[in-house]
Structure formats: structure tokens, C-alpha cells
Chain A
Amino acid sequence: GQQVMQIPQYQHVQEGEDFTTYCNSSTTLSNIQWYKQRPGGHPVFLIQLVKSGEVKKQKRLTFQFGEAKKNSSLHITATQTTDVGTYFCAGGGWDTDKLIFGTGTRLQVFP
């Protein structure tokens, strides 16, 4: 079945450093979504990418969808302690409205 992997699994950064998480799907996706889950919380929708090669920015966050629509990345510039949490990508298939979640990247930011 479809698998969505993320790397790294876990990353510590010093506040102010940049952070990137990479998402790879075993199959081509119709769209990719990104979510943030704080410890003890539920996933919160961040963004959806649909077009091949699409790049979207939200303040310090930059999201990219690969040309082949099988991979994506989330880059955070100058991390802050409020960025702490687990970031999940979730891939949408072509013939289904299901989302398959990636394995997640847990970000820890030290002040």
C-alpha cells in the first residue's frame, strides 16, 4: 500500500537556526497537506499544495511540492520555541479522498 515517509524522525535545533523536514511518498500524490501537532494536542492544518513544483510561504515557513508530486518539504527559517511540535505531511491519492499521514518529524527548539 501507499507509504509516506518523513526524515528526519527527530531534530533538535537552537532557537534561531533553520529546520527542514522532508516527505516522500511511494506513489504520486494528487495533493500534499502539512499539519503541526503540539505535544498532547491534535493535528492542526497548515497548508495544502496541489500543483507540481508549487512553493508556498507562510511567514517563516516555506512549503514545496516536488515536480513529480511524490515528495515535499517544509522549511522553517529562524526557528522559535513556539515552533516546537511534530510536523506531519499527509498525502492525498488520485482516486480517493483519504489522507495518508507521513511518519512525522518531531522538532525540539532550545532557547
Chain B
Amino acid sequence: GAVVSQHPSRVICKSGTSVKIECRSLDFQATTMFWYRQFPKQSLMLMATSNEGSKATYEQGVEKDKFLINHASLTLSTLTVTSAHPEDSSFYICSARGAGFGNTIYFGEGSWLTVV
């Protein structure tokens, strides 16, 4: 089956620094990737949709200058949290949908970000 890999799975960074999270589709080409954040015991909130080779589309209320998304290839999308603050601490999850898989979306394992 399709596999989506996220890295790192856990990261701790200091307040004010930036951290990059990678999302890779391992056995299929992902034309569209989605980034979510999830606070403990809450639902997944869609942050942005990224399409290969074009700018990401951000959801209302998500700061595009703070959460930089790059989908430079059909197998890789990155989320960079810039100037991180403790309130950015969360579980970030990517998902990917490939052209050959219809509408089925596969999720990465998620990345726990802790900003201290």
C-alpha cells in the first residue's frame, strides 16, 4: 500500500528558531499534499493544501509567512515553522493524494513539535 513518511517524528526547538518538517510519498507521486495540525485530544485542523510546482493554499487564519510550505517535487513537501513560539507546539501531520489512487488520502506518521 501507499506509504507517506514524515520526518522528524519528534523535534524540540528553542523559541524564535525555525524548524522544518518533511513529508515524503515513498511509493507514489503525490500531486497534492495537505498539512494539518492537531492539538491533544482535538481534531485535525487543515492548515494548507500544497500542489506540486505551485504556491500552497492556506486556510483562513493560518499565517502563510509563519508556516512556509514548499512542494518542490511530486514526492516531497516541507513545512517550515518560522520563529517558533511555545503556542506552535503541536502535532503536525501531512497527507498525500496521488493521481493513481483516486481520492484516497494517506497520512504520514506525524511530527510532534515542542517549542521551549
Contact = CB atoms under 8 A, between A and B. Distances in A.
Interface of A: 1, 31, 33, 35, 41-45, 48, 88, 92, 97-104, 106
Contacts of B103: 31, 33, 48, 92, 97
Contact of A97 (B43, B49, B106): B49
A98 B108 contact: no
Given A42-B109, A43-B107, A45-B104, A101 B49 contact: no
Interface of B: 32, 34, 36, 41-46, 49, 60, 93, 97, 103-110
Given A31-B103, A97-B32, A97-B49, A42 B93 contact: yes
Nearest to B4: A42
Contacts of B97: 97
Contacts of A97: 32, 49, 97, 103
Nearest to B102: A48
A96 B95 CA distance: 15
Contacts of A104: 42-43
B106 to A, nearest CB: 7
B65 to A, nearest CB: 21
A98 B93 contact: no
15 contacts: A41-B110, A42-B108, A45-B105, A45-B106, A48-B104, A88-B43, A97-B32, A97-B49, A98-B34, A99-B105, A101-B45, A101-B46, A103-B43, A104-B42, A104-B43
Nearest to B36: A101
Contacts of A45: 104-107
A33 B106 CA distance: 12
B46 A42 contact: no
A43 B92 CA distance: 12
A1 B107 contact: no
Nearest to B51: A97
Nearest to A31: B103
Given A42-B110, A97-B32, A99-B34, A33 B105 contact: yes
